[in-house]
Structure formats: structure tokens, C-alpha cells
Chain A
Amino acid sequence: MSGQTPSAVLDIRNLVKSFGALRATDGVSLQVRPGEIHALIGPNGAGKTTLVAQLSGQLRPDEGEIVFMGRTINEVSAHERVGLGMVRSFQITRLFKSFSVIDNVALAVQSRQPQRGSIWRSVAKDQAIYEKAADLLREVGLFNRADQLAPALSHGEQRVLELALALATEPKLLLLDEPMAGTGPEESQRIVELIESLRRDKHMAILLVEHDMDAVFRLADRISVLVNGALIASGTPEEIRHDEQVRAAYLGDEVIS
């Protein structure tokens, strides 16, 4: 897990974040390369969400560096990171509940337009934005729900819409924080296929934080294992599967047999 690949989309170097005596992030280093799905796994309370929050700019790390596309972004604000192309999704579904499905996506598309916050441009005349939003909804299979209010969707559909929002901002790196959280088998299958298509068709770099081991081992090119804030292993799914330390600390024999 050493060796800084200059071509890495995301390069995390020795990141530390403490809350009082608790080192929630304890010297974490990892890279996400172009077109790669790098999965981050770990038991509850391992510090995954804290790490994602530092990457997306909600929390500031105490030490270390976050390098995105060759630029250190420790001091860059959350919204500016999105502008650079680093976009996150949320573990708890956070949709705009008073917007319809297509208006949710249209807002996300809007964030990439010139004059995105103009007071003089009526959204009713934003044909191009709505066409893009409609295309995206077709892509993820939510087009038939376009005019429903977001809370009217099923939980699985809400998870898909959550992903669609992130996609609409044209990310170079996606931070997916437990995209399968709370979904049933069929729904998580749908999301796995969606994430696969992102790598295949868009060559998108993805940092995937996930609890669903089936999904992780199916999707990931590389896996890092976080325990008590520190990485205890990093490697291909095959290596992680056979890593004694990982087996002992986290996975348990039956899960990965």
C-alpha cells in the first residue's frame, strides 16, 4: 500500500483525525486509480464514515494529505471539491423531499451549468437541463417515476436516485457511502449492476464503502480493510480473502468461504 502512483485519481496520505482520545482515522493511506473500484470495508465503528466525511470536506483532517488529481485539497471546501469532480453519495438517503424525481436530478445537472445559480434564468425554460435529467433517469431506470415526489419512491428506488444525483454532477471520482444500505436482495442487485455499468461504460473511479460482502467482492478491483481507524490490509479481493489478519479481525471464516 505504499508507492505513490502519480496517475492515481485519489491519493490519501497518512490521514489522521482524532475526536478527543479516539483516533477515528489513524494514519490511513490509500489510492484510487482511474477506472478502478476500490472498496473500503470494516466493522461498524471502524471509521469509514469519518474517512468519507474528510474526503468530501465535511470534516477537516488533523494530519496527512488528501490529493485529488494531483492537487492537495485539504483546504478546499466541500462544494468546491464537487466542482473539481469528487462527488459523494450518502449512507442515509438524502433526497430533496419536496422535489419530484426529475427535479431532484435537474438540480444536480444544474450544478454543472454556467450561471448555475442565476436569478434571471427560469427553470421552466431549462429545456437542456431537463433533457439531460430525463436521459439520466432512463439510464438508471427511473424514468417512469419522473414526476413522482422523491419520498413516494420505494427505498430501493430512493437509493438509485441517490446514485443518480451523484452521477448527474459528472464526477471523476465517486465516493459511495454504503449505496446498498437497507436494500433487499433484488434492489441491491440492481445497484450492483448500476455500479458495474459505471466502471464499464464510463471508466469511472469509485471509492466504495460497503457492508454487503457479496457486492464488495463482486465489484471491487482492490479492497482495503479498516479496523479501529487504521488499515490492516489492502489488496485484491483474492489477497483479502486469504489474509489471516483480516479473517481474524473482521470477516469470519464463513463469510468468505
Chain B
Amino acid sequence: MHFGPSPASAIPKSASWPTWLILALAAAALGFWMHSAGLGYYLSMISRMMIYGLAACSLNLILGYGGLVSFGHAAYLGIGAYTVGILITEGVPNGWLGFGLAMVVSALLALIIGAISLRTKGVYFIMITLAFAQMLFYLVNSVKAYGGDEGLNIKMRSDFGLGIVLKNDLHFFLLVLLCLVASLAFMQMLMRSRMGRIVLAQRDDDIRTEALGFPVYRYQLALFVIAGAIGGLAGALLVNQQNYVSPNLMHWTQSGVLMIMVILGGVGTLAGGLWGALLLLTLEDLIAEVTPHWQFYVGWVLLAVVLLAPKGLSGLPDLWRRKQPGNKPAGGDA
């Protein structure tokens, strides 16, 4: 007899620590190898994909696990990037301060946006999160002191001391990897916690969850703030990666791109956003070399994933296992 969450439930299975460690070490080893093999350009590209992956994973927290379709997640990415960018422009390159503040500012922003938009549901929620993000987009556009619509170039990268040089491809890659692994580990802990179970429950039925005595709104807001903070962290990394941030980073199409990454990778899965970002940005780079109409082809890929693998890349192993003769579908699927 067992006493614990049933395997059939939506509560995420815990990936064991060794798995985490091996994956992270393998990624780090790949970084070292690429750096020493003179593939710095590609390493930097992978860093960029991982940053978008981090942003998409944070969106997946509210969209996938929370069931709250936020259409303005790029706002946090942008605000995180601008916080670091503005600090550097003002002569405060300290990375600890910059990254910390980026997370705090985007968390506060998520608190305000969430506090208002979470009072609505469904399509209204989608529209109001979109509206807030567009408001910020136009606000940043109009701030001429920090580049306005031309964007903001930073003259140097964040400075963490300790011999960390973010201009170095490898150092930067390792920092991104560290942020990604730490965030994923945190999100896994969250979704396997008591709070995580409440989050999953309100996704199924918020009124029922309330009727069990849980203040649903507060948990939704907490989730929203956590996702915003992690989005801000991704933004802080991104401005360091491209030495530049422009209002376009906060445009609603960016929020759409993050959503596409989540759908490609698997809605409501821990690392789905990461796989989706890797796939989408790789496709973009590969197809863009052949034809400028890369979006047309990416559209077909998206269509194929939605129709053939509703759980995205993360669902593929499951799908494959089920296709094997002699294997029954996973227990209790309804």
C-alpha cells in the first residue's frame, strides 16, 4: 500500500536529482567543448535559445499548470531587460544588483497586472493581460532618455565579480545554464508542493477549489508573480546576450512567440518551454537561411504538432510508448 500522489494524477513526477545533475553536467560539458573548439558563435546562439526557453517555461507555469492564458508575458521579459539595461546605462553594472532588481521589478509588475486581470476570466483575462503588455510597450517606446523606439544599447555587460566575464561565451553560457537549472528545479519543487496541487486543482475547477476553502485568487496571484519574476530573470540575461534591448521585445507578437514555444514543447510540462524554444529558434535559423518566408514553414510545423502531438515535444516519448505493440495506454486515461 502506498500513501502518496497517484501516478495517474496531473501532479508532475519528480525527476530525480541524478537526472538533473547529469543533464546539467552534460550541457556544461558541451559548452566547454564548443568553446574550446572555436564554436563560440553557436554557443552564444544556444545561450539565446536557453534564455527564451527560460522565459517560455515561466509562461508555462501560469499558462500550462495554472490554466491562465496570459497573453502579455513578454512584458516581464522586456521589463527585466530594461531594468538591467537602464542600470548599466546609469553606471551601475553590478550583476547581483541588476539581476536581483530585474526580478523584483518584474515581480512587482506582475503583482499589479495580476491583481487586476485575475479578477476576470477566460477571454477577458487574455485581453486584459494583452492590454497591459501593450501599454508597457508604448510606454517604453516613448521614453526617449533610454532610446525610445530605437532601443537601448548597453556599453558593457553586467558585472558579477568573482572572475566572471559575461563577454566570454562560455562564462555567459554557464550563467544561463545555472539560471535555467535553478529555475526549473524551483518550478518542479513548486508544482510538487501543496501550493502546486492547489494550482492544478483550480485549473480543473476554480469554484470547486474555492468551495474546499482555498482562497484561489491569492494562489493564482502568487503563481503570476513567480512567473513574472522568472520572466524578468530571462530578460536580464537577454539584454546581456544581445547588448541591446528594444521595445519590440515587449510587443504582443513576442508574447505570441513565447506561447508558440510553450505549445510546441508541451503545455503544462516542466521543461516544455525549453524544448519548444530550442525547436522554434532552430527552425527559424535553419529555414531563414533558405527562404525569408520561414514563418510559413514554421506554421506547418506548429500545425503538425498541435494535430499529431497535442502534448508537444514533451508528449512524444509517451506517444511513442503507446504506439508500441503490447503496450497499453497509460493507466486510467479518460
Q: How far is the CB of A219 from chain B (nearest CB, A)?
A: 22
Task: Tell whether B297 is near chain A: CB-to-CB under 8 Å.
Answer: no
Query: Given that A122-B192, A147-B6 are known contacts, is A79 also in contact with B204, CB under 8 Å in the complex?
Result: no
Instruction: Flag if B213 contacts A111 (CB, 8 Å).
Output: yes
The yes or no answer to A100 lying at the interface (CB within 8 A) is: yes
> Given that A90-B208, A149-B334 are known contacts, is A96 also in contact with B6, CB under 8 Å in the complex?
no
Q: Which residues of A contact B211 (CB under 8 A)?
A: 56, 78-79, 82, 87-88, 90, 94
Decide: B9 and A98 in contact? CB cutoff 8 A. Answer: yes
B189 interfacial by beta-carbon distance below 8 Å: yes
What total of chain A residues lie within 8 Å of the partner, measured CB to CB?
Answer: 51
Can you list, as one digit per residue, whether each of A103-123 has a CB less than 8 Å from chain B (1) or not (0)? 100111011110111111111
User: Is B208 a contact of A149 with CB atoms below 8 Å?
Assistant: no
Chain B residues within 8 Å of A100, by CB: 5-6, 8-9, 332
Contacts of A77 in B (CB 8 A): 215
The minimal Cβ–Cβ distance linking B202 to chain A, given in whole angstroms, is 9
Chain B residues with CB below 8 A from A101, complex form: 6
> In whole angstroms, how far apart are the Cα atoms of A21 and B219 in the complex?
37
CA of A111 to CA of B204 in the docked complex: distance in angstroms? Answer: 17
Smallest CB–CB gap between A156 and chain B, Å?
16
Residue of A79, A113, A130 with most chain B CB atoms under a 10 A cut-off: A79
B320 touches A (CB below 8 Å):
no
Given contacts A98-B9, A110-B198, A149-B333, 7 further A-B contacts (CB under 8 A): A78-B210, A80-B213, A87-B213, A99-B201, A100-B332, A106-B197, A149-B334
A-B contact pairs, 18 of them (CB 8 A): A56-B211, A78-B211, A80-B213, A82-B212, A82-B213, A87-B213, A98-B200, A100-B5, A103-B197, A107-B197, A107-B198, A119-B195, A122-B192, A123-B197, A124-B192, A146-B6, A149-B9, A165-B208
Instruction: Name B residues whose Cβ lies closer than 8 Å to a Cβ of A.
Output: 1, 3-11, 14, 189-190, 192-198, 200-201, 203-205, 207-216, 219, 331-334
What are the 10 closest A-B residue pairs judged by CB atoms, nearest first? A82-B213, A100-B6, A98-B10, A130-B3, A151-B334, A94-B208, A149-B332, A111-B213, A147-B6, A96-B204
